[in-house]
């Protein structure tokens, strides 16, 4: 689970609980202007075929860490796909974040609000 909050001109993504251990990351700080878009997408977690490195993958249960997929570098932390949000990024180490959040609709609204 990831907590998302606005901090000045940045958006901070805090990885919570044991997910820090599984994802090998506890916090991402992204300038708001680097966030291209966000959407709720439970299907984003279905059917990926590439690998997580570094990170943890327990098929059917948990995927957390860095995923390389179709030439993209994606930060991935999803346990419950119904709470998955996909965030597209520009000019960052990651091309996308695919994260589980408590309230996907609120996170998408916050990230989609006028910058």
93 in Cβ contact with 10 (< 8 Å): no
> Which helix H or strand E contains 111, and what residues bound it?
helix 104-112
Taking the whole predicted model, whether its pTM rises above 0.75 is answered as yes
Sketch the domain layout of the chain as residue ranges: 2-112
pLDDT digits (tens, 9 = 90+) for 40-90: 988 876 655 455 555 555 555 556 678 877 788 888 888 788 999 999 999
Mean pLDDT score of the chain, rounded to an integer? 82
CA distance 81 to 42: 5
Can you read off the two tokens belonging to residue 109? Answer: 């609204």
């Amino acid at each position: 689970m990831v907590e998302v909050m606005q901090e000045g001109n940045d958006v901070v993504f805090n990885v919570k609980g044991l997910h820090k251990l599984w994802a090998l990351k506890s916090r991402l700080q992204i300038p708001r202007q680097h966030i291209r878009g966000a959407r709720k997408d439970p299907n984003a977690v279905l059917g990926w075929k590439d690998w997580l490195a570094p990170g943890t993958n327990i098929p059917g249960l948990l995927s957390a860490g860095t995923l390389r997929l179709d030439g993209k570098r994606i930060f991935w932390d999803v346990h419950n796909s119904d709470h998955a949000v996909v965030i597209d990024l520009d000019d960052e180490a990651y091309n996308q974040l695919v994260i589980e959040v408590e309230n996907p609709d609120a996170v998408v609204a916050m990230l989609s609000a006028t910058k």
